[in-house]
């Protein structure tokens, strides 16, 4: 180090303290740093400053240690914890709705699984769907006497049906021709618009794209899980396309197309007579699925509604028909019922095996989805996958450092209930109740779908009794949750006005549909009002809507209970 000559920097201006600090922290460019260094070489004042700055780091550390409380416990030995974690499956549980719930889980038991949104890989799914479609096509070709499949096309102006697959040159006139041209312009094949292959081909040749995969339950195409891949692209006349794939057999049931320039939206879907179970591929579609066949699948035994009920009953008995629904799909062509469980942990897998052990015509599949490389979203507005109004999707993490302030409703709750703490507890409690209610409502609607009035006629009296018992279990639990919810919100929802009107149900099936609608409505109000973010909600409106909807839900559930009791 050059000898310090006491001086004043040779008459040059001293760097300000911020710059000196930046120099000490090595945050200057090489050029800036060398200038400062040069100044320091003959300025004692600045050198002293720099010297004391170098020391302050250690001084601060000591001060901090001296004066702040030390960690109250000995530091846990992390090694063993990580080794235990290594033995657990990599799949994490579905994230809970509120980040507050995550904080509550920060308990002593540190072996909690990481919470993250489950993401499915668009490319993988598409590959599997393409393979499944090819297998199906081969099988169809073998049979030869199947009627040609048809699809429905809906546009903003009209709808029509056409063959699922036909050469473009045979396109009809009028609306169909207009649409055919749109597709041609977008370089998307109009030969077979409902086809994973066409979708994959289009997606592959995009220069820029953004994929989003959502998990849907109980759609208009039947019970069970569906995946919807939506791909957007900034250039070209086709701005966004989506494909909806049934999870159990990877069959594409619907596609949508949004054309940029023409401002046109086209939806293509299977025609209803293509029921699940008629042309099901045998299985090698899923690369990551692990299948177990418990009996000879080739004994093409005719399946009945009674068989389905038996399976549904078994799954209900272990409580696996709530929350994470287990798919039950009847495959008549193979004489099997396919039970698919997504992301089941070891304990759940064992439970399912045991529960289904006595049933001969079952194929049990466990699927583990792969996760995309995205950081776990620490996001107050993360939602569960079950509510139709908030489908699970990949969310971008919030920029670090931004803290979300309380919404107007949260402020209102805090002042009505006395403290922020009480308000947060209240919120969590109500959300839990809503989530529980929604799970039950979904389960009931699934049953209603599977066992329609027509199907019920195929059931024996004993079967009917079993079915009613399952319905009663769900309805009872649902009513309890909703009653409690109305109790809990009473102090906050002052208005004792009339509940939303409802009409009598013709059947329990109709009742189940109405109840689900009502439960979704309540859940939607809660989510919007408490989620915060962009949508500002007037607390008075929110609370009175909540009151009306919650009371309406309770009335409907009570009525459903009566209808079920009478239908015994």
Partner 1 sequence: MDESALQERVVAAYEDAREDVYYYALNFGLSSGQAQEVAQEVFLRLFTTLRRGEDISNIRGWVFRVAHNLALKVRGKEREVGGVENTIEWSISSEDSPEKQAIDHQQKQRIAAALAGLSPQQRQCLDLRVAGLRYREIAETLGVGTSTVNEFLRRAITKLKKALDA
Residues that bind partner 1 (CB under 8 A): 17-18, 21-22, 25, 27, 52-53, 56-57, 59-61, 63-64, 66-73, 75-76, 78-79, 81-83, 85-86, 90, 92, 99-100, 102-104, 106-108, 110, 114, 371, 373, 375-376, 378, 399-403, 414, 419-421, 424
Q: How far is the CB of 229 from partner 1 (least distance, A)?
A: 22
Cβ proximity to partner 1: between 101 and 318 the closer is 101
Q: How far is the CB of 429 from partner 1 (least distance, A)?
A: 14
Q: How far is the CB of 428 from partner 1 (least distance, A)?
A: 9
Cβ proximity to partner 1: between 28 and 314 the closer is 28
* Alpha-carbon span 443 to 340, nearest angstrom: 16
- DSSP assignments along 468-479, one per residue: HHHHHHHHHHHH
Q: How far is the CB of 287 from partner 1 (least distance, A)?
A: 17
Cβ proximity to partner 1: between 113 and 524 the closer is 113
Look-up: residue for tokens 């995309």?
372
Say whether 104 sits in a helix, a strand or coil: helix
* Alpha-carbon span 178 to 332, nearest angstrom: 39
Which element (helix H / strand E) includes 66?
helix 44-67
Cβ proximity to partner 1: between 15 and 196 the closer is 15
Find out whether 393 and 242 touch, Cβ atoms under 8 Å.
Answer: no
What's the alpha-carbon Rg for the chain, to the nearest Å? 31
Cβ proximity to partner 1: between 250 and 412 the closer is 412
Handedness of CA 342, 346, 350, 353 (dihedral sign): positive
Look up residue 500 and give its two tokens.
């939303």
Q: How far is the CB of 430 from partner 1 (least distance, A)?
A: 16
* Alpha-carbon span 500 to 547, nearest angstrom: 10
Cβ proximity to partner 1: between 110 and 181 the closer is 110
Cβ proximity to partner 1: between 56 and 271 the closer is 56
Q: How far is the CB of 19 from partner 1 (least distance, A)?
A: 9
Q: How far is the CB of 279 from partner 1 (least distance, A)?
A: 37
- DSSP assignments along 497-508, one per residue: -PPPP-PPPSSH
Closest by Cα among 212, 209, 529, 537 to 391: 212
Q: How far is the CB of 102 from partner 1 (least distance, A)?
A: 6
Q: How far is the CB of 82 from partner 1 (least distance, A)?
A: 5
Q: How far is the CB of 98 from partner 1 (least distance, A)?
A: 10
Cβ proximity to partner 1: between 376 and 464 the closer is 376
Say whether 310 sits in a helix, a strand or coil: helix
Rounded to 5 degrees, what angle do the CA atoms 436, 440, 445 make? 145
Find out whether 193 and 175 touch, Cβ atoms under 8 Å.
Answer: no
Terminal-residue alpha carbon distance, the chain: 96
Cβ proximity to partner 1: between 173 and 373 the closer is 373
Please list, in sequence order, all residues whose beta carbon lies within 8 angstroms of the beta carbon of residue 501, skipping any fewer than 6 positions away. 552
323: left (phi over 0), alpha (psi -120 to 50) or beta: left
Closest by Cα among 332, 346, 344 to 300: 332
Cβ proximity to partner 1: between 64 and 143 the closer is 64
Q: How far is the CB of 384 from partner 1 (least distance, A)?
A: 18
Find out whether 527 and 390 touch, Cβ atoms under 8 Å.
Answer: yes
HSE (CB half, 13 Å, CA atoms) of 329?
Answer: 32
Which element (helix H / strand E) includes 270?
strand 264-270
Q: How far is the CB of 6 from partner 1 (least distance, A)?
A: 21
Please list, in sequence order, all residues whose beta carbon lies within 8 angstroms of the beta carbon of residue 484, skipping any fewer than 6 positions away. 433
Find out whether 359 and 314 touch, Cβ atoms under 8 Å.
Answer: yes
Cβ proximity to partner 1: between 63 and 123 the closer is 63
Cβ proximity to partner 1: between 243 and 531 the closer is 531
Look up residue 297 and give its two tokens.
């699948």
Q: How far is the CB of 74 from partner 1 (least distance, A)?
A: 10
Say whether 439 sits in a helix, a strand or coil: helix
Note the Cα 474 to chain centre separation in Å: 23
Residue 128 CB neighbours (<10 A): 22
Q: How far is the CB of 449 from partner 1 (least distance, A)?
A: 36
Cβ proximity to partner 1: between 136 and 429 the closer is 429
Q: What are phi and psi of 38, to 5 degrees?
A: -60, -40
Cβ proximity to partner 1: between 53 and 558 the closer is 53
Q: Quickly list H helices, 122-252.
A: 122-143, 174-185, 196-204
């Amino acid at each position: 180090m050059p000898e310090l000559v006491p001086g004043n920097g040779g008459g040059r201006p001293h760097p300000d303290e911020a710059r000196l600090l930046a120099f000490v922290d090595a945050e200057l460019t090489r050029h800036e740093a060398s200038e400062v260094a040069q100044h320091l070489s003959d300025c004692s004042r600045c050198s002293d400053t720099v010297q004391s700055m170098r020391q302050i780091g250690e001084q601060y550390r000591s001060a901090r240690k001296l004066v702040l409380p030390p960690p109250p416990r000995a530091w846990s030995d992390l090694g063993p914890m990580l080794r235990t974690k290594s033995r657990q499956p990599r799949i994490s549980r579905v994230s809970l709705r509120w980040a507050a719930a995550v904080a509550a889980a920060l308990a002593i038991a540190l072996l909690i699984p990481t919470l993250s949104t489950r993401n499915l890989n668009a490319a993988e799914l598409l590959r599997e769907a393409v393979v499944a479609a090819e297998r199906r096509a081969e099988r169809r070709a073998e049979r030869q006497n199947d009627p040609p499949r048809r699809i429905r096309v809906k546009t903003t102006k009209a709808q029509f049906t056409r063959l699922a697959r036909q050469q473009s040159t045979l396109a009809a006139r009028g609306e169909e021709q207009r649409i055919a041209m749109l597709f041609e312009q977008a370089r998307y094949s109009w030969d077979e618009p409902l086809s994973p292959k066409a979708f994959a081909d289009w997606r592959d040749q995009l220069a820029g794209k953004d994929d989003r995969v959502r998990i849907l339950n109980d759609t208009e195409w039947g019970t069970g899980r569906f995946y919807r891949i939506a791909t957007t692209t900034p250039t070209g006349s086709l701005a966004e396309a989506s494909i909806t794939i049934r999870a159990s057999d990877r069959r594409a049931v619907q596609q949508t197309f949004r054309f940029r320039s023409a401002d046109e939206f086209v939806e293509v879907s299977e025609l209803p007579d293509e029921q699940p179970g008629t042309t099901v591929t045998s299985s090698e579609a899923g690369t990551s699925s692990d299948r177990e066949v418990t009996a000879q699948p080739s004994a093409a035994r005719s399946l009945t509604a009674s068989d389905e009920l038996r399976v549904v009953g078994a799954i209900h008995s272990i409580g696996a028909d709530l929350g994470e629904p287990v798919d039950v799909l009847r495959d008549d062509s193979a004489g099997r019922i396919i039970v698919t469980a997504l992301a089941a942990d070891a304990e759940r897998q064992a439970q399912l095996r045991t529960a289904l052990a006595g049933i001969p015509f079952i194929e049990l599949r466990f699927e583990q989805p792969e996760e995309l490389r995205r950081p776990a979203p620490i996001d107050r507005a993360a939602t569960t996958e079950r509510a139709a109004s908030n489908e699970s999707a990949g969310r971008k993490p919030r920029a670090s450092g931004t803290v979300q302030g309380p919404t107007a409703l949260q402020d209102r709750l805090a002042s009505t209930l006395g403290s922020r703490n009480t308000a947060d507890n209240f919120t969590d409690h109500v959300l839990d109740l809503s989530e529980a209610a929604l799970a039950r409502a979904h389960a009931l609607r699934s049953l209603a779908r599977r066992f329609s009035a027509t199907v019920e006629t195929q059931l024996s009296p004993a079967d009917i009794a079993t079915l009613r018992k399952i319905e009663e279990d769900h309805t009872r639990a649902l009513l309890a949750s909703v009653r409690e919810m109305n109790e809990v919100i009473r102090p906050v929802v002052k208005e004792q006005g009339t509940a939303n009107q409802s009409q009598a149900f013709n059947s329990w099936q109709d009742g189940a549909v109405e109840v689900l609608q009502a439960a979704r409505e309540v859940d939607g109000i809660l989510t919007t009002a408490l989620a915060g973010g962009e949508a500002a909600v007037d607390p008075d409106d929110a609370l009175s809507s909540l009151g009306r909807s919650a009371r309406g839900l309770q009335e409907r559930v009570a009525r459903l209970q009566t209808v079920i009791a009478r239908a015994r």
